């Protein structure tokens, strides 16, 4: 692949090309950058490159590649995007990108593009403008338009070209969710023309370019057959598609995220009025979205998560130990979830242990279910499936654990049980093996009191269900050494998790700030609020589910255990209602939440079927209207913000960034609000303190403002400078 051109070639800093047998082989490679992105400077080089190729009589066709070994083009330069100050400026940026790609689409000589690795956002929009797309079948080749995840829409023609290529349904499925697909699925959907093994990508792409130079053109059939024609191929069918898509978007987002609806409008407008008018509308909508507060918040989250990927978790930490073998003690719901996720994401040997072989067998089957799901959704091939399944094993003893660089216990949430596991296994582990506890509340230093080598004991708090929840809390104990921390952080990232390192204290970060949120449910119910109203108000605020539903999802038995720990540690401000047993009464009645089919709600066939009126009798409360909706919402959200401020003041997280990411990825704090600490900055400490003091006067000390909020109110400071 030419990165240094011979004398007959033209060279630019990022774009190089060489002419061979009538084919201009063009390569994009941003020197010194890990990935290719499209910036203003790159756009200028693109335009200069294609202008030169148009004038070069030797060039009959073009084959385009990335010079990066593992990615194609990751998208536009986000650093330039955040500098936009007005909708008009953002609209001009979008129109400029459209103009560049329009020149590519209308280029007088055929262009074939060879794609390997991430082909996202502006990178995929560039590929769509080319005349033929070849992609590798490698798992790293991901194709998509993720712009709505940043609160914007594909603004360089993606909302126009993709529907025309693959049909409205397939295009909307990708654009409105901001998701990416493996190349194999993109090929089935007609988004790429040819799927090849990586070693022959260059050869096949150049061959396609030569065929097009000879007059050949690909004959594309829209996927979906007759149904595809009915829904995608005529205005009436598309009207049904758009109506259904709009309904689904509103159900999924609650109307809090404007980007998917704007993208839907851009697609619909373009198909109705033609591509030129569609591009104009696309640029206008892009401009409007780019300067919204929602987009700014989502971009801040994007940058924060990228920064976290580079954070070793502890200052001056030595390199992490590379984990190749993972031991897991406890093969229940959490243990099997960790096992299956580790195999799928990190591809390590996993050895499970439980009290008897029957339990281990159930755990292995549960772990395999994660692989089954990946195979069913064609995320892995049957050959990859067979290879990954072979990595799972287990037994009723510690055989095999002597080779595990990392062992994670996922046993019952009880200090004595966890210490007993540590005593049993420590003599078996290698001398430098790390022991991690998947505990949600118990201080790691307490667990490590049973260790001969407490420096190699750490907490790794996964969230349920492990395969879906993106957050991992890593908790060093008082004597945990830095390399143990870096090893746990690095392995968590290999498992695909967003990792935050938090201080060792009861509840750590996520459960600490959730405690007052869940605690207030009992008070609101005691005052006559209904379960449905509490949940619906939280969802309207932006949470994915309400707090009552969240308790059912976590498990009421687990919630009772966590509540006991948190009330013991923070009883001066996490105060249960005085009306009696509360959630403990439901647990005593065998109502454990979704997993038992009954909690606050009834569950049948895996779906929530509504509140059973008898639950109010078990709780000893009667819904009669309760507090006003505005007060209910305030009493749910402000104590959480207050506890987050209190925990930041105690140094539970390294910085506000980690705290907000933990809340968003750990339990779904509304991302368009930026996290509890950014939300606090938006409200202002003075207003929050005033509201909390008023609530404290009416309802007691649990609403007393945190010292840090009082200081901010007095000094006029914020969490984020």
pLDDT tens-digit readout, 164-183:
999 999 999 999 999 899 99
Could you give the C-alpha distances from 448 to 285, 390, 415, 419, in angstroms and in order? 55, 33, 10, 7
Q: Do 39 and 83 contact (CB within 8 A), yes or no?
A: no
Above 70 in pLDDT, residue 10?
A: no
Question: Tokens 């296994």, residue?
Answer: 425
For the chain, helix (H) and strand (E) counts, in that order, are 30, 20
Q: Output the pLDDT for position 229.
A: 63
Q: Output the pLDDT for position 561.
A: 86
644: number of Cβ within 10 Å: 31
The whole-number average pLDDT for the span 628-643 is 97
Q: Output the pLDDT for position 581.
A: 54
175-186 core/surface letters (b: 16 or more CB in 10 A; e: else): bbbbebbbbbbb
Q: In the chain, pLDDT over 90 holds for what percent of residues? A: 80
Residue partners of 524: CB distance under 8 A and separation at least 6: 534, 626, 627, 632, 635, 636
The H or E element that residue 73 is part of is strand 71-73
Q: Which domains does the chain have, with CATH numbers?
A: 15-291 (3.90.226.10), 325-501 (3.40.50.720), 510-715 (1.10.1040.50)
Q: HSE (CB half, 13 Å, CA atoms) of 613?
A: 2
Instruction: For residue 500, name the pLDDT band (cuts at 50, 70, 90).
Output: very high
Q: Which are the catalytic amino acids?
A: 473
The whole-number average pLDDT for the span 314-337 is 93
Above 70 in pLDDT, residue 6?
A: no
* Burial label, 35 (beta-carbon count in 10 A; 0-12, 13-18, 19+): middle
Of residues 98 and 230, more confidence is placed in 98
Instruction: For residue 562, name the pLDDT band (cuts at 50, 70, 90).
Output: confident
Residue partners of 451: CB distance under 8 A and separation at least 6: 422, 426, 435, 457
Q: Do 218 and 158 contact (CB within 8 A), yes or no?
A: no
Q: Output the pLDDT for position 315.
A: 82
Which backbone phi and psi does 181 adopt, to 5 degrees?
-125, 150
Q: Do 17 and 49 contact (CB within 8 A), yes or no?
A: yes
Q: What pTM did the predictor assign?
A: 0.90
Q: Output the pLDDT for position 224.
A: 65
Of residues 229 and 75, more confidence is placed in 75
Q: In the chain, pLDDT over 70 holds for what percent of residues? A: 96
Question: Tokens 């091939």, residue?
Answer: 381
The whole-number average pLDDT for the span 443-465 is 95
In this predicted model, what pLDDT tens digit does every residue of 643-664 receive, in sequence order?
999 999 999 999 999 999 999 9
In this predicted model, what pLDDT tens digit does every residue of 343-356 receive, in sequence order?
999 999 999 999 99
Q: CA-CA distance, 388 to 347, in Å (whole number)?
A: 7
Q: Output the pLDDT for position 603.
A: 94
Above 70 in pLDDT, residue 12?
A: no
Could you give the C-alpha distances from 432 to 124, 211, 428, 454, 485, in angstroms and in order? 45, 59, 11, 12, 13
Which backbone phi and psi does 542 adopt, to 5 degrees?
130, 0
Question: Tokens 């969230």, residue?
Answer: 463
SS3 222: coil
Question: In 3D, which of 101, 110, 242 has the Cα closest to residue 169?
Answer: 242
The whole-number average pLDDT for the span 489-515 is 95
Q: Distance from CA of residue 178 to its chain's centroid?
A: 11
The H or E element that residue 384 is part of is helix 382-389
Q: HSE (CB half, 13 Å, CA atoms) of 519?
A: 28
């Amino acid at each position: 692949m030419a990165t240094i051109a011979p004398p007959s070639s033209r060279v630019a800093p990022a774009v190089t090309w060489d002419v061979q047998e009538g084919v201009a082989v063009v390569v994009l490679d941003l020197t010194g950058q890990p990935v290719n992105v499209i910036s203003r400077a790159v756009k200028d080089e693109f335009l200069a490159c294609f202008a030169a190729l148009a004038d070069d009589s030797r060039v009959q066709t073009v084959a385009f590649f990335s010079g990066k070994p593992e990615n194609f083009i990751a998208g536009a330069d986000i650093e330039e995007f955040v500098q936009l100050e007005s909708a008009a400026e953002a609209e001009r940026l979008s129109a400029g990108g459209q103009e560049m790609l329009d020149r590519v689409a209308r280029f007088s000589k055929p262009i074939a593009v060879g794609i390997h690795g991430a082909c996202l956002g502006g990178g995929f929009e560039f590929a769509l403008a080319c005349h033929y797309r070849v992609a590798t079948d490698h798992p790293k080749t991901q194709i998509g338009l993720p712009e709505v995840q940043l609160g914007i829409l594909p603004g360089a023609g993606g909302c126009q070209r993709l529907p025309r290529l693959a049909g409205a349904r397939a295009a909307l499925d990708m654009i409105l969710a901001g998701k990416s697909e493996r190349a194999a699925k993109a090929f089935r959907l007609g988004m790429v023309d040819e799927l090849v093994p990586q070693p022959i990508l260059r050869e096949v792409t150049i061959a396609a370019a030569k065929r097009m130079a000879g007059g050949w053109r690909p004959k594309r059939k829209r996927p979906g057959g007759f149904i595809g024609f009915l829904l995608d191929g005529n205005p009436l069918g598309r009207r049904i598609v758009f109506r259904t898509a709009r309904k689904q978007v509103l159900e999924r987002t609650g109307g809090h995220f404007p980007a998917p609806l704007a993208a839907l409008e851009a697609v619909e407008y373009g198909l109705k009025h033609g591509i030129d008018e569609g591009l104009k509308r696309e640029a206008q909508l892009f401009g409007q979205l780019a300067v919204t507060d929602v987009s700014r918040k989502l971009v801040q989250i994007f940058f924060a998560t990228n920064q976290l990927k580079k954070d070793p978790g502890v200052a001056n930490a030595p390199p992490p130990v590379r984990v190749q073998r993972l031991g897991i003690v406890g093969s229940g719901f959490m243990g099997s979830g960790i096992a299956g996720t580790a195999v799928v994401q990190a591809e390590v040997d996993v050895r499970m242990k439980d009290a008897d072989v029957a339990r281990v067998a159930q755990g292995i089957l549960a772990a395999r279910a994660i692989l089954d799901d990946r195979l069913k959704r064609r995320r892995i091939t049957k050959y990859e499936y067979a290879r990954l399944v072979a990595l799972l094993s287990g037994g009723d003893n510690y055989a095999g654990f002597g080779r595990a660089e990392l062992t994670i216990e996922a046993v019952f949430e009880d200090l004595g049980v966890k210490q007993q596991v540590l005593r049993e296994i420590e003599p078996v582990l290698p001398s430098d093996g790390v022991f991690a506890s998947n505990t949600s509340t118990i201080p790691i230093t307490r667990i490590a009191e049973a260790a001969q080598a407490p420096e190699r004991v750490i907490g790794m708090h996964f969230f349920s269900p492990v395969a879906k929840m993106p957050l991992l809390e890593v908790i060093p104990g008082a004597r945990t050494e830095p390399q143990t921390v870096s090893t746990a952080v690095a392995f968590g990232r290999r498992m695909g998790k967003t990792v935050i390192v938090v201080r060792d204290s009861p509840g750590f970060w996520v459960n600490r700030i959730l405690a007052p949120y869940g605690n207030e449910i009992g008070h609101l119910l005691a005052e006559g609020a209904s379960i449905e109203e509490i949940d619906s108000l939280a969802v309207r605020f932006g949470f994915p589910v309400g707090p009552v539903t969240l308790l059912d999802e976590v498990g009421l038995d687990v919630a009772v255990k966590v509540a006991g720990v948190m009330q013991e540690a923070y009883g001066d401000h996490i105060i249960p209602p005085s009306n009696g047993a509360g959630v403990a009464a439901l647990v005593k009645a065998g109502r454990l939440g979704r997993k038992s089919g009954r909690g606050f709600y009834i569950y049948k066939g895996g779906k929530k079927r509504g509140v059973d009126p008898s639950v109010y009798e078990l709780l000893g409360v009667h819904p009669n209207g309760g507090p006003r909706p505005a007060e209910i919402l305030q009493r749910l959200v402000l104590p959480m913000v207050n506890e987050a401020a209190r925990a930041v003041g105690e140094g539970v997280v390294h910085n506000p960034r980690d705290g907000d990411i933990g809340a968003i990825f750990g339990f779904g704090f509304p991302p368009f609000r930026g996290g509890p600490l950014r939300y606090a900055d938006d409200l202002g400490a003075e207003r929050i303190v005033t509201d909390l003091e008023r609530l404290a006067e009416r309802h007691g000390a649990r609403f007393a403002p945190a010292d840090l909020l009082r200081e901010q109110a007095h000094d006029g400071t914020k969490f984020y400078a």
